[in-house]
Chain A
Amino acid sequence: QKEVEQNSGPLSVPEGAIASLNCTYSDRGSQSFFWYRQYSGKSPELIMFIYSNGDKEDGRFTAQLNKASQYVSLLIRDSQPSDSATYLCAVSRSGATNKLIFGTGTLLAVQP
Chain B
Amino acid sequence: KAGVTQTPRYLIKTRGQQVTLSCSPISGHRSVSWYQQTPGQGLQFLFEYFSETQRNKGNFPGRFSGRQFSNSRSEMNVSTLELGDSALYLCASSETRTGLLGTEAFFGQGTRLTVV
Contact = CB atoms under 8 A, between A and B. Distances in A.
A96 interface: yes
Nearest to A91: B102
Contacts of A42: 109
Interface residues of A, number: 26
A94 B58 CA distance: 16
For chain B, what secondary structure do more than half of its interface residues adopt (helix, strand, loop), or is it mixed? strand
Interface in B60-114: 88, 90, 92, 94, 97, 100-110
Nearest to A86: B42
B104 A96 contact: no
A31 to B, nearest CB: 6
A98 to B, nearest CB: 4
A45 B31 contact: no
